[in-house]
Amino acid sequence: MRSLKWFTRILLTALALANPASAQSPPGGFVFLRDIDPSILQDIRYAGANNFVGRTLSGYEGAECVVKREVGLALKRAQQELSPQKLSLKMLDCYRPARAVHDMVLWAQNGRETPAERRYNPAFGKKDLFRLGYIAEHSGHSTGAAVDLTLVDLTADNSGAFDPGKAYADCTAPADARAPEGSVDMGTGYDCSDLKAHTAATSITSAQRRWRNALVAVMAKQGFVNYSKEWWHFSLPGAGGPAYDFPITKRLR
C-alpha cells in the first residue's frame, strides 16, 4: 500500500493544477503590481506590437507589471502622493524575463531595420544600441528591481490609441506627430534612443522639463534612482538580486 504522504503529495499537486490562479503566481518575492495598487495604470509595451521590436517579446505571455514586493510598495507610496494632484503613474515595463533580453540581442544583430523600427533610434542604426548603452545584454529589469514608467494627467484626454498601420514621425518629434503615449509630454516617446531622451537633455521645452522633474522627484522620494540616458527608467537599490527568466503570465485572480 502506498503511503499517506505519497497520496497527500499527489492530491496537493492535483489541486494546484486545478487552480489556474495559483499556478500563475510569480515566484517568491515577486508580486503582480495590481495586487499592491490597482489604481496604477499599466501599458506593458513588450506584451504587444507597440515597441521598438514591433512584436511581443519572448516571455511576455501577459500584459502585467510584475515586480519585487518592496518595489511595488514604493510605487504605491509614489501613487498616493500623485493622486491628490489628479496624476497617476503608468507602468511601461517592469520585470523582464532574461529570455526577452536575449530576444532584444538577436533583434539588434539581425541585420535588418524597418522604418517603423528606426522611429525609435533616428540618429543611428540599431546595431549601435548596445555600444551606446541604450540596451544592455544583462538588464536590471530581470531582477525585478527596475521599472519603466511615465506620468498621466487624469484630467486630460488620453484616448489616443496606437495604430500599427500608421506611419508616425520618429520618437523625437512633437507629441502630436509621434505615436500616441496616452500620457504627459515628456519630450520624446518611450524607448527613444536619442540624446533628447536623456533625462537632463537641454533640447526640450520648459513644460517637458517640469514633467521630467516631477517624475524624478516623486520617484526619488521613494528611493528610486533614474538612469540618465532614459527619463522613464528607474531602479530601487538593494531590491535586486539575480536575474530571473520565468514568463510573465496573465493575472487570473
C-alpha cell at 161: 490609441
Give which of 15, 169, 182, 185 is closest to 7, Cα–Cα: 15
Q: Is beta strand 87-93 parallel, antiparallel or unpaired with respect to 41-42?
A: parallel
d(CA 230, CA 186): 11
Alpha helices in 41-157 (DSSP H): 69-82, 98-108, 115-118
Q: How many residues does the chain have?
A: 253
What are the two backbone dihedrals, phi and then psi, of residue 218, each rounded to the nearest 5 degrees? -70, -30
Which helix (H) or strand (E) covers residue 21, if one does?
helix 20-23
Residue in the block written with cell 525609435: 120
Is 138 annotated as contributing to ligand binding?
A: no
SS3 assignment, position 244: coil
Cα-to-chain-centroid distance, residue 103:
16
Given 61, 113, 181, 230, which residue is catalytic? 230
Cβ–Cβ < 8 Å for 95, 30: yes
Cα Rg, the chain, nearest whole Å? 20
122: β partners: none
The DSSP annotation for 38-53 comes to TTSEE--GGGSS-STT
Closest CA to 230 of 144, 137, 135, 139: 135
The answer to whether 102 is a known ligand-binding residue is no
- The answer on whether 233 is annotated among ligand-binding residues is yes
Catalytic, 230? Answer: yes
Q: Which residues are part of a known binding site for Zn(2+)? A: 141, 148, 233
Q: Which residues are part of a known binding site? A: 141, 148, 233
Question: Which amino acids are annotated catalytic?
Answer: 230
